[in-house]
Structure 1
């Protein structure tokens, strides 16, 4: 069935299935992990000994690693910005408490909120972090807001979240591996469980896009093309420290991630390729002329980006982050 109406009509159509997706891709609060499950228990007699062991293992983490982990934490803690943005997307009605889309946004946010909470507590206990400087950056990031190039368009927002959840899965998965290699198994487990959440969420948003492609293929293709032409920016692209300009710290954080191999230009390209395959872009039918041109652009884009990536140099200069003690 092809819908020829507005985004609102499509969102209503897909929204009737959202509760089923919530059961498939979100976990029950009562049975799923909470930050307290992965950290020393302050009610136990051995709490201080466990904290001592945590601090000893954290000493082996490199400077760049700490910068990336702190930047990841600040990004995760900016959830109020992301929820308020998604609640304004066309077709989401936060005034209707029982509407499927508003329930999804709240439940997704609640799962994501655990990530920043968990990482923040680990960093606090590690003794490696100037917590006040980090907290200032978090406050700046939330108060500065963000502009991810989607507007209130649900199609563009779904492209963004599909891409971004895959990117954060890669980042947290790689920090888990590096923590294990550095002899910090507790942090490795922490990053691993967060990465698992991100992958489930990526699958959900990808499923929403498949639903849209089935009923509004040309407009969905054009939205996908538009987001790829703009390039997907990270949600923390306004990241800054006290005394720096908006976005200045983010470039240094990105450089550290590139040096570590936590998230690279090649990862960006491979995520795009995975989405092209996931949504079977080459075989989408019922496209108008503009949709066909958009499809051709998307299919050819990864090869073009790889040619550019071959000329990209990874910065070698470390930056003195105010966050690291």
Structure 2
């Protein structure tokens, strides 16, 4: 079977690929990356990371002990970030629907979709078991937030094309890895830190899969891929943006060093763009060149904004330390 000639798109300056053509053309790359992933990824047991001996009943039919913040071993910022991270994982059914609809359920694409979903499912399982067993968070509030967040579902900001979705998850998986890892570091609980480090390892492998796929897309359709990356980077939002109280939680996580503008620029966007040499790609048409230039200007502007955030963060933390010592 041969791929039908891509239709010419004057705006892009190149022959434009349809989603169906790209899915077919990238199937071999997906199979290669899937095999690499399966060879490297290590199965692990969620229950082995949960401190079950710390568990006890909550109020209700089993007439247990009510939750109190003093029972939590994690820091305040750790508790906030853990709830945000878990609620993000909880929306897995919506994420699965999104990528299964876009990538399909057959062949290497389908195998990857189901494998990715199974691995992500472990993350939600172990995080919830840890949070409830260790009494790290208010269980009633956690369930209320879960119901509200999942009732809203999830709809991607990047439903423009298959390339938009691939570009988004390449950055989002790395952002999730960084958020989990920093949450563990700031949690104050070695058990939590170890659990989130295990999750972060998975997220990094997922990022590598999508990053390499994005690199192959640049070789096949450089203008279209550059435009998709430009759109994703300049409009990026984490998938949990619709959860209850997200803006306030995100602000506190930013000041607390979990995830902020500086981290987003230095540890998420820059590594992917640099690895793929996105700002150095040549041979682009008019639209691709314009997108590349816009992307470079955006990154410069984001770096300037991050410097201003760094200054504000330092001032806030200094005031807090002064108040603590007073």
With the length of structure 2 as denominator, give the TM-score of the two structures.
0.81
- Which residue does the alignment assign to 2:142? 134
- Find out whether 1:282 has 2:286 as its counterpart: no
Provide the C-alpha distance between the structure 2 equivalents of 1:222 and 1:192, rounded to a whole number of angstroms: 34
Deviation larger for 61-70 or 105-114: 61-70
Would you say how many aligned residue pairs link Structure 1 and Structure 2?
A: 290
Provide the C-alpha distance between the structure 2 equivalents of 1:266 and 1:250, rounded to a whole number of angstroms: 19
Q: Deviation string for 1:254-290 (max 9, x for gaps)? A: 0121121011111111222212211111332331111
- Which residue does the alignment assign to 2:237? 233
- Structure 2 segments unaligned to the other structure (5+ residues): 7-14, 57-67, 318-326
Provide the C-alpha distance between the structure 2 equivalents of 1:58 and 1:102, rounded to a whole number of angstroms: 43
- Find out whether 1:123 has 2:127 as its counterpart: no
Match runs of 1:196-235 below 5 Å:
196-229=201-234, 231-235=235-239
User: Which of the pair is proportionally richer in helix?
Assistant: 2
Give the superposition deviation at 1:310: 3.1
- Which residue does the alignment assign to 2:172? 164
Pairwise CA RMSD: 2.7
Whether the 8 Å CA contact 1:165–1:201 is kept in 2: the answer is yes
- Which residue does the alignment assign to 1:43? none
Change (3 A) 1:109 1:27: farther
Change (3 A) 1:17 1:258: same
Provide the C-alpha distance between the structure 2 equivalents of 1:26 and 1:120, rounded to a whole number of angstroms: 26
User: Which structure: larger Rg?
Assistant: 2
Provide the C-alpha distance between the structure 1 equivalents of 2:55 and 2:157, rounded to a whole number of angstroms: 42
- Find out whether 1:38 has 2:49 as its counterpart: yes
Match runs of 1:1-325 below 5 Å:
4=15, 5-26=17-38, 32-40=43-51, 48=53, 51=55, 59-89=72-102, 92-94=103-105, 98-151=106-159, 153-179=161-187, 182=188, 184-229=189-234, 231-240=235-244, 249-270=245-266, 271-312=268-309, 313=312
Change (3 A) 1:311 1:12: same
Q: Deviation string for 1:27-83 (max 9, x for gaps)? A: 699x6102112124xxxxxx63x548xx99973422222111111111111111111
- Structure 1 segments unaligned to the other structure (5+ residues): 41-46, 241-248, 318-325
Q: Deviation string for 1:178-209 (max 9, x for gaps)? A: 23xx2x22111101001111111101100110
Whether the 8 Å CA contact 2:78–2:184 is kept in 1: the answer is no
Change (3 A) 1:205 1:28: closer
